[in-house]
Structure 1
């Protein structure tokens, strides 16, 4: 079992970690900051996003893209540090934006809640929006049970997405222009919940998949938000490894570090906004895998 260490703490709620150029970039929801953390635990504020940052990625020229959750936009950070609108997704989505995957050519896949999760509204399915490098948008996939973390496998030909309230990881074939087709269950952890009540769904799922990243053997590391662990999953749903996080729940993960073997984990006591907004109990954990 891998040893888990705390790299940095004192955050509100960390999500959407990405390793790049020697540092981990991460969004801290309720302080409205994008942060960079190096391997010694030193923290730098990279951007402030008033409407709450989430998914992160980079264009080929190195400019940062960041999801602005509440106003449903993707922002672009210019070389002088200012943020400008890259794409407006408000007409294509029905509630807050969520995580984002940006591929090597700058195409961004953005998930969204689909309903007012924090107020206990009935669950509704949602979509993934494709944002092209020029900022143009189109719906790439629909009918997903809370699309969350995403990653690419099979050399980039397959997109895998956490369907957090679907008890599964969805899979799509990626076309030459970034279009998604052939929707399927890439990994199933059991029957899909049938209730629209979030509390009932949470009690029904065996895994609540959240943020994820690809391992070097085409498996994926996935944060299990109800299992206090990160699991390594093979296509089909076999769990081939795990890292447990004790009393803390873990909501996202990324591989990185100078050796590429450090699993970074965003952990907190819970995900509920009213419990996290005014507290500073979220931590960044690491384990060698």
Structure 2
């Protein structure tokens, strides 16, 4: 059992943590920034995203992709610092865009809420969008309950996506042409709720609310459990084999393995996920723990 320790403080709501080229990268929703963080905790803002940044990834040429949540775009920050629109998923997203995972060839899969979470709308299923390396957009799969954090296995043949309101992690075979087939449960934490349920009804049914996640070299997932103030390590099938909780009892909303040896787990912590409360204060933080099994796959 590892212990979480404070690392960086003073954010509004951190999300999309990544380890890339020897540093941490993270989005801050309501500060509208993407920042690079050195291993000693020194933070530098590298991009401002008025549309609220979330998932991060990199193309083969070194360009960084950033999800802009409110306007349903995927931005591209080129190696020379230029910022352009890489893709627009507005024709597919029925709620805020959120996390993404990028394959080695530059293909990206982007989730969205599917409904207006912050205004208390009833949950409804949505799709996962595929963004080809040239920025063209297509519908990858339908009937996902708030597709959120996603990973691609080291062999490049499986994509796993968390369904925050679906009580599980869903896997697909990732084909050479970028299509997803062979839908199956990777982890099942409880029955899948009925669409149309309001949030209080949903929360009573959910054992785990998968948010950001990452894969390790034993084919286990570290998953931020957005509803239970913890980060859990999960085996294929759904057995929870480890659990980490911040000492202050706050919520955990994303995680990533990184560091020089891939054994540092970074988690995004905040008192709650309320947009109204989080944008008004700077109470979000990043915590780290040392774990035994290193990072694998993407992101």
TM class by shorter-chain length? over 0.9
Secondary structure of residue in 2 paired with 1:30 = coil
User: Does the CA contact (< 8 Å) of 1:168 and 1:186 recur in 2?
Assistant: yes
Q: 1:209 maps to which residue?
A: 210
Displacement of 1:204 after TM fit?
Answer: 1.7
Q: 1:27 maps to which residue?
A: 27
Q: Deviations over 1:211-230 (max 9, x none)?
A: 00010111111111122211
RMSD: 1.1
Q: 1:223 maps to which residue?
A: 224
User: Does the CA contact (< 8 Å) of 1:47 and 1:81 recur in 2?
Assistant: no
Q: Distance in 2 between matches of 1:197 and 1:17?
A: 29
User: Does the CA contact (< 8 Å) of 1:154 and 1:218 recur in 2?
Assistant: no
1:233 counterpart = 2:227 = no
- Superposition map of 1:68-217 within 5 A: 68-153=68-153, 155-194=155-194, 196-217=197-218
Displacement of 1:154 after TM fit?
Answer: 5.9
Q: Distance in 1 between matches of 2:230 and 2:281?
A: 22
Which moved further from structure 2: 240-249 or 167-176? 240-249
Displacement of 1:80 after TM fit?
Answer: 2.9
Q: TM-score, normalization: structure 2? A: 0.94
Q: How many residues align?
A: 289
User: Does the CA contact (< 8 Å) of 2:153 and 2:159 recur in 1?
Assistant: yes
Q: TM-score, normalization: structure 1? A: 0.98
1:242 counterpart = 2:274 = no
Q: Which runs of 5+ in 1 are unaligned?
A: none
Q: Which runs of 5+ in 2 are unaligned?
A: 292-299
Q: 2:259 aligns with which of 242, 245, 257?
A: 257
Secondary structure of residue in 2 paired with 1:160 = strand
- Which stretches of structure 1, 4 residues or more, deviate above 6 A after TM superposition? none
Q: Distance in 2 between matches of 1:99 and 1:126?
A: 14
Displacement of 1:198 after TM fit?
Answer: 1.4
User: Does the CA contact (< 8 Å) of 2:108 and 2:130 recur in 1?
Assistant: yes
User: Does the CA contact (< 8 Å) of 2:62 and 2:78 recur in 1?
Assistant: no
Q: Distance in 2 between matches of 1:238 and 1:156?
A: 24
Which moved further from structure 2: 62-71 or 195-204? 195-204
Q: Deviations over 1:236-271 (max 9, x none)?
A: 111122222231110000000122100000010000
